Structures are given as structure tokens and as C-alpha cells.
């Protein structure tokens, strides 16, 4: 079984945030660091923010969507994907679906927050086959063979908000290049004042060149490189 990520963008492993999305696993499957709750039956992920869109990990039918008083008021959604597979999502403050509603893969089901028994904003999500909880990590499409990211970015990063636009400097036109070099081939020219939508600019801290990354359905596509002096 393959599942899409429950958030927009890739998820980094335990304690290692993805440089573009900022998401990382904060508590692993079967973790026993909180013995009062028993072994952890899913994954916790977060990026230090609230309000992030939470997404259905596959097409299916919602069979639970409620705020659970027994777990401190946590917002919970569960989806039946057929063939015995279900997914669950918890700790949201906004629920965007209702029981009985069909959903497509990637549809918004709620918003990330800190409801219920939680010490910080995060999403707990789980995957089940029949009545057996499965470790979600190897089931995520991003972690299966051949699912490496389209963009590999190394180093330390400054991260902009998902979908943030940048504006080409009023002082001069700019261009996207194939490589972070002034004489590398030009992919696209931008007149001064152009607003480029839906782009995340990522760079090594202190670097002169930034990589422009467009995220579509959670996957990163490198648009090219732009000099830091050319946008604001």
C-alpha cells in the first residue's frame, strides 16, 4: 500500500526537518517514551506552526470526524480507503469533512493544531490494515523505492512560507538560470516588478544564489536559480 503525505511537502525523518516544508517526525512508531499511553501507534509530525492544511492520504470515505472528549477534545478524522486499509488524523482544531463524505487523495480534511492531550502543535497520524496498526513511515510514497524527491537541496536553509510570492526587484530585470552562475543558460527572463506566484525560495544561509522551487501536490520542482539581489 502507498499513501501520500498528510501535509503539503515532504516529511523529514525523526528530528531532521525537510529543508523546504519544515516538517519532521517528532515521535516515531512504537515509541515508548510516554509509558502511560503505551507504545505509540502512529507517527507525530510537526513544523512548529499551526494552521497548516492536513490532507487525505488516499481516496476513500470519511467514517469519523469529531472532537473527542475522551482524549481532551482532540479533533479526529478517520478515512476508510477500502481493502481493509484506514488512516487516522488527530489534534486538529478545524475539521473540514464530515462522516460519510467521500474524499479524494490530497483533499483538505482539517488544519494542524494542538487540541486534546498534546504539548505542542503537531499531527498524529496512523495507518491500519484490518485491525492491525502499521508503521506509516515505510508506507509513505515518498519513502518507497523510486520516490526520491525531484529536487535535492543540501546545506542549511532559510525557509519561506509555502506558496509565498516573490517580486523581481524594481531596479533591474532578472532571470532564472540552469545553474547558480551568472553565465549559465537562461531559462526564463523576468521584467522588473514581475510577481512570480506559488514559488518557495530556498538557499544556503548567506548564499548569493537561491533556488526557486515550485510545489505541486506536495512535490518539489526546481524552476532554476536566481541571484538574491534580483528579488525582494
Which residues 6+ apart lie within 8 Å of 121 measured at CB? 46, 48, 49, 50, 91, 112, 113, 114
Distance CA(163)–CA(176), nearest Å, equals 18
pTM for the whole structure = 0.65
Range scoring the smallest mean pLDDT among 18-22, 44-48, 93-97, 108-112 = 18-22
Residue 114 in contact with residue 120, Cβ under 8 Å? yes
65 forms beta bridges with 77
> pLDDT digits over 48-78, tens only?
889 999 999 999 999 999 999 988 899 999 9
Q: 113 vs 66, 120, 121, CA distance in Å?
A: 15, 8, 5
Domain with CATH 2.30.30 in the chain: 157-230
pLDDT band at residue 219, thresholds of 50, 70 and 90? Answer: low
Of 139-148, 179-188, 195-204, which has the strongest mean pLDDT?
A: 179-188
State the CATH architecture for 11-143. Distorted Sandwich (2.70)
Distance CA(226)–CA(194), nearest Å, equals 13
Helix (H, G, I), strand (E, B) or coil at 88: strand
Domain with CATH 2.70.70.10 in the chain: 11-143
Fold for domain 157-230? Answer: SH3 type barrels. (2.30.30)
> Which residue is associated with the grid cell 502543535?
121
Report the candidate in 15, 39, 100 with the shortest Cα–Cα distance to residue 66.
100
**What is the arithmetic mean of pLDDT over 34-52?**
89
79 forms beta bridges with 62, 87
**What is the arithmetic mean of pLDDT over 126-153?**
79
Amino acid at each position: 500500500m502507498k499513501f501520500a503525505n498528510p501535509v503539503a511537502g515532504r516529511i523529514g525523518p525523526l528530528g531532521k526537518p525537510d529543508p523546504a516544508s519544515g516538517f519532521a517526525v517528532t515521535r516515531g512508531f512504537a515509541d515508548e517514551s510516554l509509558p502511560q499511553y503505551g507504545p505509540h501507534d502512529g507517527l507525530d509530525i510537526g513544523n512548529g506552526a499551526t494552521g497548516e492544511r492536513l490532507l487525505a492520504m488516499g481516496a476513500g470515505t470519511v467514517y469519523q470526524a469529531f472532537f473527542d472528549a475522551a482524549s481532551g477534545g482532540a479533533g479526529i478524522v478517520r478515512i476508510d480507503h477500502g481493502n481493509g486499509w484506514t488512516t487516522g488524523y488527530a489534534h486538529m482544531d478545524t475539521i473540514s469533512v464530515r462522516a460519510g463524505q467521500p474524499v479524494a487523495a490530497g483533499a483538505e480534511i482539517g488544519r494542524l493544531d494542538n487540541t486534546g492531550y498534546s504539548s505542542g502543535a503537531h499531527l498524529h497520524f496512523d495507518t491500519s490494515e484490518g485491525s492491525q496498526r502499521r508503521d506509516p513511515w515505510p508506507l509513505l510514497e515518498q519513502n518507497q523505492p523510486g520516490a526520491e524527491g525531484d529536487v535535492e537541496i543540501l546545506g542549511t536553509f532559510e525557509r519561506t512560507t509555502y506558496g509565498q510570492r516573490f517580486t523581481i526587484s524594481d531596479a533591474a530585470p532578472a532571470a532564472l538560470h540552469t545553474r547558480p552562475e551568472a553565465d549559465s543558460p537562461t531559462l526564463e527572463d523576468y521584467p522588473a516588478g514581475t510577481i512570480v506566484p506559488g514559488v518557495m525560495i530556498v538557499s544556503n544561509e548567506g548564499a548569493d544564489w537561491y533556488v526557486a522551487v515550485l510545489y505541486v501536490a506536495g512535490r518539489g520542482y526546481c524552476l532554476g536559480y536566481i541571484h538574491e539581489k534580483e528579488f525582494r
